[in-house]
Amino acid sequence: MNEKQLLSVSFIFSLIGILIILLISYVFQPELYKISELSKENVDEIVRVKGNIESFYETPGLYLINLVDDSARITVVVFKENEMNLVEGELIEVKGSVVEYGDEIEIIAKEVVL
Amino acid sequence: MPKKLFYEILIVTFLGVLAGIFTGLIPGVHINMVSILILSSSPFLLNYFSPLSLALFIVSMSITHTFLDSIPSIFLGAPDSGLELSVLPGHRLLLDGRGYEAVFLTIVGSFFAVVIALFFVPTLIPMLEHGYPLIEDYVAYILIAASVILIWRESKSRSKSLMVYLLAGLLGLGVLNLPLEQPLFPLLSGLFGTSILIVSLMAKTKIPEQRITYPKLEIKETLTYLGLGFIASLLTGTLPGLGASEAAIMSSSIKKKNKPEGFLILLGSINTFVMVVSFISLYAIDKARNGAVLVISKILLEFNFSYLFLFLFASLFVAGVASFLALKISKIFSKVMSRVNYAKVCMSVISLIVILVFLLTGPLCPDSQHTFGNYNWVDGDWKESSYGMSASPSYSVLFTLSV
């Protein structure tokens, strides 16, 4: 075996690796929870929740969204990267990490799908 | 359009590869150290990266490291902690002007280790899940037996081997109880890095003109060494305290008349097999068998099959990239090493190690509290670990024994 042969084989396997990673990135999703299922045991975990915007507040650096589903209510913190067009009552899906704030749990959003 | 997650995976994978080049090429700098630094800075890093990204960074760094760490061990005579056995066969080829070929052989071993491990995942998971509980209660006895075998096979100097074994144990106990933030870095770089560089300096090693040659590999023989490496890695990937070198000694004992070429394939393969098998062990038996995987388990909290699947294919991708990089870097070393002053290179590397020791264990350490040793970030606080991580005394004992 010489360099050319080894590099050809490694190129092919690398390509297979990256194609499968691409495939995974389409199907890889954190688990979808109902808000009432979240507890302090989920702190630091990346989760998905779906719910309606009950109300929201905008500060210069972030949005605070009160999200409700048919089970409970939770505060979602979204750090401002872009302006968001939020509408009360709208159904959104949030992907983010669960954090403890005071005595409550909140979600720090990484992705909000309107 | 590919999803944002795909780009995130690609970026952290490439950053991990860069970190792996750094840890692989600088003797004494180990992935465990970088991983623990990541864990200690995770409260800050998690503001910018997801836990998955941090874990993936460690995965790609670890795999790249196993491809590149043979380069300094062969060209500089300064082996990394897992590769001290490659000094002899690797140096034999180097002194014959075939340093590039020696690195090429370890890369062949490493690359096919990833492919074979991936192929056997469906068999390995149930094997570990059902097999490990059967031996779990006897792990201590198995490790004692492994130590006895390693000492016994030194037929001409068993008493000296026992003495080294006991001294290494005392050294491990002593150093790990010192009030140092990074006790393993000075310990391992001194044992496996600086010592051999000093021996090279004293021996006034002259590196001959290097040629670019390729091994004449017989497929059957290559597969035999890869198979031996795979079996040995199952032991080291599941049992605490056993490293790549111990696995190589034991598995090479099975095959009589080991050629240096075959031994280099074996060593390269074990180094990478151990890393991939340790990801599978984390999923199948929930045990972290090296520092990097321990940090991954702490960052991800729950290691599910999706993570394993992603890590294995990221490893495959990284294996191809790392093979390319290792071959190119090794070619540069081949061209440069015979022309440069070897003594000056050794002195420069020793100086670099000394500077890094001061930076990482001295007052400039980024986190002055428990960033290494048997401490983990648990519930918002550093707590003493119950894991048999690589900082355990038994690790130092078995490691030093293999010198």
- DSSP per residue, B80-139: -TT-GGGHHHHHHHHHTT-HHHHHHHHHHHHHHHHHHHHHHHHHHHHHHHHHHHHHGGGH
**pLDDT tens digits along B174-202:** 887 877 766 777 887 787 778 777 877 77
Phi and psi, residue B385, nearest 5°? -85, 150
Q: Is the pLDDT of residue B302 over 80?
A: no
Q: Give the closest-approach CA distance of B214 to chain A in angstroms.
A: 6
Q: Is A113 on the interface with B (CB under 8 A)?
A: no
DSSP state of A16: H
Joined tokens for residue B89: 């066969």
Q: Give the closest-approach CA distance of B374 to chain A in angstroms.
A: 22
The CATH class of A32-113 is mainly beta
Q: Is A4 on the interface with B (CB under 8 A)?
A: no
Q: What is the C-alpha R_g of chain A?
A: 20
Closest residue, chain A, to B2 (C-alpha): A22
Tell me which residue has tokens 């490694």: A10
pLDDT at A87: 86
Percent of chain B with pLDDT over 90: 22
**Mean pLDDT across B283-301:** 83
pLDDT at B393: 35
Q: Is the pLDDT of residue B385 over 60?
A: no
Strand partners, B180: none
Tell me which residue has tokens 């760490």: B69
Q: Mean pLDDT lowest for which of A32-41, B178-187, B313-322?
A: B178-187
> Which residues of chain A are within 8 Å of residue B10 when distances are taken between CB atoms?
18, 21
**Mean pLDDT across B302-320:** 90
Burial of B101 (0-12, 13-18, 19+ CB in 10 A): buried
More confident residue, B372 or B12: B12
pLDDT at B249: 72
Q: Mean pLDDT lowest for which of A64-68, A87-91, B236-240?
A: B236-240
Tell me which residue has tokens 């037929």: B155
pLDDT at B123: 92
pLDDT at A105: 93
Q: Is the pLDDT of residue B324 over 60?
A: yes
Which of B51, B108, B320 is opposite residue A14, by nearest beta carbon? B320
pLDDT at B391: 36
Q: Best interface-test mutation with A: which of B118, B323, B328, B379 has the largest number of A CBs within 10 A?
A: B323
pLDDT at B366: 47
> Which residues of chain A are within 8 Å of residue B326 when distances are taken between CB atoms?
none
Cross-chain Cβ contact A3/B215 below 8 Å: no
Number of Cβ atoms within 10 Å of the Cβ of B34:
23
pLDDT at B80: 46
Joined tokens for residue B378: 């648990």
Joined tokens for residue B97: 């002007």
**Mean pLDDT across B341-356:** 84
Q: Is the pLDDT of residue B392 over 50?
A: no
Tell me which residue has tokens 């989920």: A42
Which of A10, A20, A45 is opposite residue B319, by nearest beta carbon? A10
Paired sense of beta strands A73-79 and A104-113, if any: parallel
Average pLDDT, chain B: 79
Residues 9-38 of A with CB under 8 A from B: 9-11, 13-18, 20-22, 24-26, 28
Which of A3, A16, A25 is opposite residue B3, by nearest beta carbon? A25
Cross-chain Cβ contact A26/B9 below 8 Å: no
Cross-chain Cβ contact B310/A17 below 8 Å: no
The DSSP code sequence of B242-286 is: --HHHHHHHHHHHSSS--HHHHHHHHHHHHHHHHHHHHHHHHHH-
Q: Is the pLDDT of residue A26 over 80?
A: no
pLDDT at B51: 81
Q: Is the pLDDT of residue B348 over 80?
A: yes
**Mean pLDDT across B121-138:** 88
Cross-chain Cβ contact B302/A17 below 8 Å: no
Q: Is A8 on the interface with B (CB under 8 A)?
A: no
Q: What is the C-alpha R_g of chain B?
A: 20
Which of B6, B46, B321 is opposite residue A14, by nearest beta carbon? B321
Q: Whole-angstrom Cα distance, residue A36 to residue A42?
A: 12
**Mean pLDDT across B371-393:** 38
> Which residues of chain B are within 8 Å of residue A45 when distances are taken between CB atoms?
301-302
Task: Work out the pLDDT band at B362, boundaries 50, 70, 90.
Answer: low
> Which residues of chain A are within 8 Å of residue B317 when distances are taken between CB atoms?
14, 17-18, 21
**Mean pLDDT across B60-87:** 75
pLDDT at A114: 66
Cross-chain Cβ contact B320/A26 below 8 Å: no
Q: Give the closest-approach CA distance of A48 to chain B in angstroms.
A: 14
Which of A9, A17, A28 is opposite residue B306, by nearest beta carbon? A28
More confident residue, B83 or A2: A2
Q: Whole-angstrom Cα distance, residue B137 to residue B382?
A: 28
Task: Work out the pLDDT band at B120, boundaries 50, 70, 90.
Answer: very high
pLDDT at B28: 66
pLDDT at B363: 56
More confident residue, B125 or B4: B125
Q: Is the pLDDT of residue B35 over 90?
A: no
DSSP state of B190: I
More confident residue, B112 or B181: B112
> Which residues of chain A are within 8 Å of residue B302 when distances are taken between CB atoms?
45
Burial of A38 (0-12, 13-18, 19+ CB in 10 A): buried
Q: Best interface-test mutation with A: which of B317, B324, B334 has the largest number of A CBs within 10 A?
A: B317
Burial of A27 (0-12, 13-18, 19+ CB in 10 A): exposed
Q: Whole-angstrom Cα distance, residue B133 to residue B151?
A: 28
**Mean pLDDT across B100-122:** 94
Cross-chain Cβ contact B327/A6 below 8 Å: yes
Kindly provide the ipTM of the predicted complex, given to two decimals: 0.73
Which of A22, A24, A45 is opposite residue B301, by nearest beta carbon? A45
Q: Best interface-test mutation with B: which of A28, A33, A101, A108 has the largest number of B CBs within 10 A?
A: A28
Q: At how many degrees (to 10) do helices B260-285 and B291-300 cross?
A: 30
Task: Work out the pLDDT band at B1, boundaries 50, 70, 90.
Answer: very low
**Mean pLDDT across B91-96:** 82
Q: Is A40 on the interface with B (CB under 8 A)?
A: no
Asked whether the whole model's pTM tops 0.95, one would answer no
**Mean pLDDT across B309-321:** 94
